[in-house]
Amino acid sequence: MHRDDYVAANRAAWDAAAPHHKAHDQFTKLARGFAQPGFSCLDRTASERFAALGVSGRDVAQLGCNNARELLSVKNMGAAHTAGFDISSEFLAQGRELAALAGLDCDLIETDLYKIPARYDAAYDLVFTTIGVHGWMPDIGAFFAVVARLLRPGGRYFAYEQHPIVGMFDEARPGDPHRPVSSYFAHEADEAAEGLDYFGNAEYPAPVKYWFQHTLSDIVTAALASGLALEHLCEYPHNISTEAHDIYENQAAQFPLSFTLVARKLDEDTGP
């Protein structure tokens, strides 16, 4: 399949999941939260990293923003212009609803992330992604090329991601969910027809979706190849993905469940 085919299939899968997410009480909680001034859905790790990066007065973009809950939280931390890019028109509509409740001005743009228009080049001081975005990217190198062109010189990319090791396991595996079911180094597209309602786990006729396993070295190497300089990489034992993955926390032999990465776009005049 061509990269565009994977993107189109995943767009259909996310659009189909959107009504199920909105019907869940998680969306109701978000709506109530953003109706209050200064609300944030960010956990401690993300909040501390954004504070360390300094978002006040900065122009910030989120790639794969879903319903924009994290981007709106960053806006409430004092970010200046904010923009969210996503393939799902249905989730972006939910994001606009949350932004209206919060009284926040935030641009939400429907687009294939690989085809973000050139007018957004060098427009942001900070570009960030969260929970799973890397895994939806068929071509991780091309993804980081987009990140690099969106950033101003000296701007930073921040990822708060599910660790690739988690992709080796299936929490629903009968008997032994802690036994790996796939290779850490698998690079073939993982095709599945299960729905994407990770809030309520609703069963519904779901379009086929495609997930891609990228190792941590794949991700770091792609960032470096795009012209970014690695500034920070930290792995954590806590789960930031679906609640079902909580079973992998607090183990005697603990593997990493999440990580944060910060990389800076080099200034051509000053270099590293």
**Would residue 145 count as lying in a domain?**
yes
pLDDT of residue 187: 86
**Would residue 159 count as lying in a domain?**
yes
* N-terminal to C-terminal alpha carbon distance within the chain: 38
Q: How far is residue 49's CA from residue 41's CA, in Å, rounded to a whole number?
A: 14
**Would residue 271 count as lying in a domain?**
no
CA nearest neighbour of 208 among 220, 222, 196, 226: 196
Low-confidence spans in the chain with pLDDT less than 50: none
pLDDT of residue 207: 92
Domain that holds residue 91: 3-265
**Would residue 270 count as lying in a domain?**
no
**Would residue 89 count as lying in a domain?**
yes
**Would residue 272 count as lying in a domain?**
no
Torsion over CA: 59, 60, 61, 65 (sign): negative
**Would residue 108 count as lying in a domain?**
yes
CA nearest neighbour of 258 among 270, 245, 267, 271: 245
CA angle 77-245-139, nearest 5°?
70
CA nearest neighbour of 169 among 105, 242, 270: 242
Residues in the chain: 272
CA nearest neighbour of 212 among 151, 135, 148, 106: 135
pLDDT of residue 70: 98
- Number of domains composing the chain: 1
Q: How far is CA 141 from the centre of its chain?
A: 16
pTM of the prediction? 0.95
Bridge partner list, 209: 192
Name the 3-class secondary structure at 229: strand
pLDDT of residue 269: 54
pLDDT of residue 189: 95
**Would residue 13 count as lying in a domain?**
yes
CATH of the domain at 215: 3.40.50.150
